């Protein structure tokens, strides 16, 4: 019978996802410590934001991270020093990266090679250059390496079981032919409001404004409308399906930012001028309507033909993608085994709690592997 | 770096699922043996059906199971002897139970206590008495015990990630409030044909006949229509969600077998007399239609109020359950984190290949834990 054991947890990022994760961590740690067969003691040894860090030279557990972080005057450790600090810990370490920081992502191979495992929703690590992807998985024990484990379920669809399902399809020998879906909560909300299945919907610029007011967009809505967020998610899934996608800009991505507004100096200026271009979107909408269809912003990976693309597509009103509600994501896997009716996963694909859930679920997977 | 290692595989059952599994096993074994970091050698040491068995005293690998099984005259080992045979194997063993046999299921605690892991689509093990459930999970290492691991993804929704998703919701601390869905491919096909969203559909007895002809029912369709198959799946999910469900008959289950036909001596007699009762189903259908709804055979678990039930329900035509196609399953998880829009999983929930996929996926999970 395995002995009781301790695992160190280091967390970077204390924003919406970070805070939700820390709360879930507390609950999970309490459950694990009371496990009758193999109690596990999770010890939070580091919490770091872009401004400051809390950690102790003797790896003492942070028992009240909120006040310790609030009172800290220590700047965050530079990444090479963070690697060294964690590598020298007297027990196994899981790094939880709850940022969307490229520099942290670029350091993953270093952490992994030192035996530090990583769980993260950070898309940048898995959707930047193909070289970084290769370096990460040739270092990781669940790749071809012998270092730490790396899991990133929440990098696509937040807590929805998208990545684990795709991995299982591939690993059990199914042939994935096509992956298609709505991968952005913002785009989902925007188009479900712009062209509801039962008719109606406002001007496109008005819907963008509403979405921003409701907190469904990034602070600058152009960061959603340029399609890059969806392109990053597609890059990750395409690579898991076996395609060698060089970067999220190496395939066609339709931006919903009119060319004339690309040079706007602020999000506010952009929003003020967007109504000038409503007629374009209106004609797209009407064209779909004439065919009995609705327009949606989707991503698709045609695995068989090695084609990835992101942009507007028309769907029959009875199609599951058309019938989506609120800001839900939907992901359909067309495979040899599932035939004409795809395996579909649907639900909230953004938000602090559900994103953190994917991270916490990954942490539990790593803990089982570290036994 | 972990060393190359061997794991023994013993398979019971060589029907539709069993054969598909053996084919997937061959592919997976070939991949694992070529893994650059930690090659794993899977060795099939036993294959047994209800009629015969192939295995060798020295645990020699079966390299051509089809011909070896065809030529075998050895009867299957009695279960206690099978336990002993596997327990004495010189390496770790995973038992793959591809039957729906209650006796095999009843022996799971014995296998697990001897350190033998189990992967299976056999619903009987997890949906019979609550005592058997308790014995299994108090023996298993992924329960509260120290024996082998047990996984049973395919016992609900075949290869769809239903059980793993529910487990993750619970383990990461979400509050599961309700689980609702169509859990039977047969019932899905029957009602999608009987009352399509866009109108039409034949008499109920005629649809049952068609479903049987297309191979969508059990040889005796009463085994689908009595609702027990769905009740077993609900029992499993309810227990995973924390409810202490005593058995699949301890909550209301609506049978679609008219009382007057319960005493029919054969499936054929039943099918011949079923048209006498079409008017009942027709009035249920018309009643739904008047409300702008359709009728579907669903299972639901109201976790908050500890209520499980199986039977006919009416759904708005725009509801995802109404819009289901073919013989697909759909499972919706309503939780605290996911709010009003549930996490939905949808796709084929029956068939040899997709059921075997869930089993193969579970085998991979066990192999990672046995490292």
Query: What is the DSSP track for A170-213?
Result: HHTT--EEEEEEE--HHHHHHHHHHS-TTS----HHHHHHHHHH
pLDDT at A203: 96
pLDDT at B35: 83
Nearest by CB to residue B326, choosing from A325, A341, A351, is A341
**Set of chain A residues whose Cβ sits within 8 Å of the Cβ of B145:** 37
H/E element, B48? strand B40-48
Q: DSSP H helical segments within chain A, as ranges?
A: 16-33, 65-71, 79-87, 102-106, 108-113, 124-127, 130-139, 162-171, 185-194, 204-213, 222-225, 228-240, 267-273, 278-290, 352-370
Q: What is the mean pLDDT of chain A?
A: 95
pLDDT of A2 over the 60 cut: no
Q: Nearest residue of A to residue B339 by CA position?
A: A348
Within this chain, domains A5-159+353-369 and A165-348 share the same CATH topology? no
3 state SS of B17:
helix
Q: Whole-angstrom Cα distance, residue B26 to residue B34?
A: 13
| Bridging pattern class, strands B40-48 and A307-316 | unpaired
**Set of chain A residues whose Cβ sits within 8 Å of the Cβ of B344:** 344-347
Size of interface A-B (CB pairs under 8 A): 141
H/E element, B344? strand B343-348
pLDDT tens digits, A209-241: 999 998 888 889 999 999 999 999 999 999 999
Rounded average pLDDT over B260-276: 94
On whether the CB atoms of residues A110 and A103 are closer than 8 A, the answer is no
Nearest by CB to residue B325, choosing from A197, A338, A341, is A341
pLDDT at B287: 97
Q: Is residue B320 less than 8 Å (CB to CB) from chain A?
A: yes
Rounded average pLDDT over B1-20: 88
Nearest by CB to residue B342, choosing from A173, A339, A347, is A347
Residue A14 labelled as part of a binding site: yes
Q: Is residue A199 less than 8 Å (CB to CB) from chain B?
A: no
Q: Is residue B338 less than 8 Å (CB to CB) from chain A?
A: yes
Q: Is residue A283 less than 8 Å (CB to CB) from chain B?
A: no
pLDDT at B1: 42
Rounded average pLDDT over A65-90: 96
* Among A19-23, B186-190, B219-223, the least confident range: B219-223
On whether the CB atoms of residues A98 and A18 are closer than 8 A, the answer is yes
Q: Whole-angstrom Cα distance, residue A25 to residue A38?
A: 18
In CATH, what class is A165-348?
A: alpha beta
Provide the shortest C-alpha distance from residue B10 to chain A (in Å). 18
Q: Whole-angstrom Cα distance, residue A285 to residue A293?
A: 9
Q: Whole-angstrom Cα distance, residue B33 to residue B39?
A: 5
Q: Percent of chain A beyond pLDDT 70?
A: 99
pLDDT of B2 over the 60 cut: no
Q: Please name the CATH architecture into which domain B5-159+353-369 falls.
A: 3-Layer(aba) Sandwich (3.40)
Asked if the Cβ–Cβ distance from A368 to B364 is below 8 Å, we say: no
pTM of the model: 0.96
The residue annotated as part of the active site, out of A212, A233, A285, A293, is A233
Residue A17 labelled as part of a binding site: yes
> Domain ranges in chain A?
5-159+353-369, 165-348
**Set of chain B residues whose Cβ sits within 8 Å of the Cβ of A348:** 337-339, 341, 343
Query: What is the DSSP track for B110-170?
Result: HHHHTT-EEE---THHHHS-HHHHHHHHHHSTTTTSSS--EE-GGGTTTTSSHHHHHHHHH
Asked if the Cβ–Cβ distance from A171 to B323 is below 8 Å, we say: no
Q: Which residue has the tokens 């994917």?
A: A358
pLDDT at A36: 76
pLDDT at A1: 42
Residue A99 labelled as part of a binding site: yes
pLDDT at A139: 97
On whether the CB atoms of residues A319 and A296 are closer than 8 A, the answer is no
**Set of chain A residues whose Cβ sits within 8 Å of the Cβ of B164:** 161, 164
pLDDT of A117 over the 60 cut: yes
pLDDT band at A158 (very low <50, low <70, confident <90, very high): very high
Q: Is residue A42 less than 8 Å (CB to CB) from chain B?
A: no
Q: Nearest residue of B to residue A343 by CA position?
A: B347
Rounded average pLDDT over B42-71: 95
pLDDT band at A35 (very low <50, low <70, confident <90, very high): confident
pLDDT at A216: 87
Provide the shortest C-alpha distance from residue A293 to chain B (in Å). 16
The residue annotated as part of the active site, out of B209, B233, B285, B314, is B233
Q: Percent of chain A beyond pLDDT 90?
A: 93
For chain A, give the longest Cα–Cα distance.
69
**Set of chain B residues whose Cβ sits within 8 Å of the Cβ of A27:** 173
| Per-residue tokens: B100 | 């729906």
Rounded average pLDDT over A150-171: 98
Q: Is residue B360 less than 8 Å (CB to CB) from chain A?
A: yes
Residue A15 labelled as part of a binding site: yes
H/E element, B286? helix B278-290
Residue B178 known to be catalytic = no
On whether the CB atoms of residues A46 and A87 are closer than 8 A, the answer is no
**Set of chain B residues whose Cβ sits within 8 Å of the Cβ of A360:** 172-173
pLDDT of B113 over the 60 cut: yes
Asked if the Cβ–Cβ distance from A346 to B343 is below 8 Å, we say: yes
| Per-residue tokens: A18 | 């970070």
Q: Nearest residue of B to residue A145 by CA position?
A: B37
Where residue A306 falls (left for φ over 0; alpha for ψ -120 to 50; beta otherwise) is left
């Amino acid at each position: 019978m395995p002995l009781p054991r301790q695992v160190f947890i280091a967390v970077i990022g204390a924003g919406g996802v970070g805070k939700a994760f820390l709360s879930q961590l507390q609950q999970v740690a309490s459950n694990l410590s009371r496990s009758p067969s193999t109690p596990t003691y999770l010890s939070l040894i580091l919490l770091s934001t872009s401004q400051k860090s809390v950690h102790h030279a003797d790896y003492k557990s942070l028992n009240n991270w909120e006040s310790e972080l609030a009172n800290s005057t220590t700047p965050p450790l530079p990444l090479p020093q963070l690697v060294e600090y964690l590598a020298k810990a007297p027990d196994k370490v899981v790094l939880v990266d709850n940022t969307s920081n490229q520099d942290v992502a670029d350091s993953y191979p270093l952490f992994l090679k030192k035996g530090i495992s990583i769980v993260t929703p950070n898309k940048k690590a898995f959707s930047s250059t193909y070289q970084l992807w290769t370096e990460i998985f040739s270092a990781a024990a669940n790749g071809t390496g012998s270092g730490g484990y790396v899991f990133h379920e929440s990098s696509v669809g937040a807590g929805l079981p998208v990545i684990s399902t795709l991995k299982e399809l591939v690993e059990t020998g199914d042939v994935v032919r096509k992956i298609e879906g709505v991968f952005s909560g913002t785009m989902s909300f925007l188009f479900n409001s712009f062209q509801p299945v039962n008719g109606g919907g406002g001007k496109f610029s008005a819907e963008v404004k509403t979405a921003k007011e409701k907190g469904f967009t990034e602070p600058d809505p152009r960061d959603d409308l340029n399609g890059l967020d969806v392109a990053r998610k597609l890059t990750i899934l395409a690579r898991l399906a076996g395609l060698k996608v060089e970067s999220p800009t190496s395939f066609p991505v339709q931006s919903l930012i009119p060319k004339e507004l690309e040079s706007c100096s602020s999000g506010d200026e952009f929003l003020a001028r967007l109504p000038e271009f409503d007629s374009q979107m209106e004609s797209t909408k009407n064209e779909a309507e004439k065919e009995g269809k609705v327009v949606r912003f989707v991503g698709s990976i045609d695995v068989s033909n090695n084609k990835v693309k992101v942009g507007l597509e028309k769907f029959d009103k009875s199609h599951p993608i058309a019938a989506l509600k609120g800001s839900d994501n939907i992901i359909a896997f067309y495979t040899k085994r599932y035939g004409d009716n795809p395996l579909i996963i649907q639900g909230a694909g953004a938000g602090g709690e559900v994103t953190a859930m994917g991270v916490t679920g990954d942490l539990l997977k790593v803990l089982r592997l570290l036994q």
